[in-house]
Amino acid sequence: MLELNGKVAFVFGVASEDSIAWAICEKLAAAGVILYLGYQKRFMSRIFQLKEKLPAIAGFYPLDVAEDELTAEFFTAFATENPGMKADILIHAIGFAPKGCFDRPILFVENEDINTAMTISANSLQRCLRHALPFLNEGSSTITLTYAASTRFVPSYGIMSMAKAALECWTRELSCHLGPEGHRINAISSGPIRTLAASGIPGIGKILDHVAANAPLRRNVNQDDVAGATLWLASSLSSGVTGQCIYVDAGYSITMVPEYAIE
Ligand code: NAD
């Protein structure tokens, strides 16, 4: 039993219908979860349109994890409109690296660009959880999204590889810090999927083709695959799981030598 009916979720990272976080919203909503979205102001009109498609969205407030105060804004707005309410699930589906992280070899990426990528794509998990904690029920489940370039080389992913490695480390550290209070924090390592964020990765089309041809399942994953695993991690079915990085990648990460190498 999923037992999610009437639970409350904060979902951060919806920018469009292609967003992995949007598929997660749909999946959580189907299980009876009430949703509160944190959105970047530049996507406001899109969020207004999407809200019409999902009645489970009970509220949506601006959130920018680049600054502490702008992160706090979301929780102030949530608490003002919903006094005394707390959430059971936090979805952190946020990633960003400036263009300067991708348009030159990693040796020459500017410090400022590295810092931005690390702040938004990795350290924001800590920032979100710190602000969210007073509004989380005991036994909450937080799920963040990562990518396998955290542990293995993927050409063109560059600084985002470092950010994802740090994000996975935050997942372990925070799960140990908050575990004694019953909070769980896990990461899902998704295979590549065409989204707004992915379109910024040079060569993403070729990476998708390569994975589809060589993953054990001989296909790419989609938003729905990731949302399914997220639903499990959000529910009590995964009650003994924390600090983990779960791969939803059609099995690609377990391969080393592609079949074509020996043909
Ligand atoms: P997306 O572009 O739909 O989502 C990225 C989200 O990050 C957007 O909603 C954007 O508003 C938000 N964001 C960026 N900067 C922010 C800031 N300063 N404050 C608040 N929000 C901010 O793309 P997506 O692919 O759905 O990405 C979601 C997560 O999944 C990211 O962490 C991404 O790295 C991860 N991921 C994606 C893939 C893929 O191939 N698409 C693979 C593995 C992991």
Whole-structure pTM value: 0.98
Whole-number pLDDT of residue 3: 86
Whole-number pLDDT of residue 1: 77
Query: Confidence class of residue 2 from pLDDT cuts 50, 70 and 90?
Result: confident
User: Among residues 110, 116, 123, which one has the least CA distance to residue 97?
Assistant: 116
Q: Which residues fall within 8 angstroms of residue 92, CB to CB, at 6 or more apart? A: 12, 13, 124, 125, 128, 142, 143, 144, 145
* Extents of the domains making up the chain: 8-250
Whole-number pLDDT of residue 23: 98
Which CATH number describes the domain made up of 8-250?
3.40.50.720
Both structure tokens of 209: 């083709």
The separation between the first and the last C-alpha atoms of the chain, rounded to the nearest angstrom, is 46
E strand or H helix that includes residue 45:
helix 44-53
Is 147 known to be catalytic? Answer: yes
Is 252 known to be catalytic? Answer: no
Q: Which of 36, 39, 147, 252 is catalytic?
A: 147
- Residue keyed to tokens 């749909």: 26
Is residue 248 within 6 Å of ligand 1 at its C-beta?
Answer: no
Is residue 198 within 6 Å of ligand 1 at its C-beta?
Answer: yes
Is residue 188 within 6 Å of ligand 1 at its C-beta?
Answer: no
Q: Give the bridge partners for 188, in sequence order.
A: 145, 246
- The percent of residues in the chain predicted with pLDDT above 70, rounded, is 100
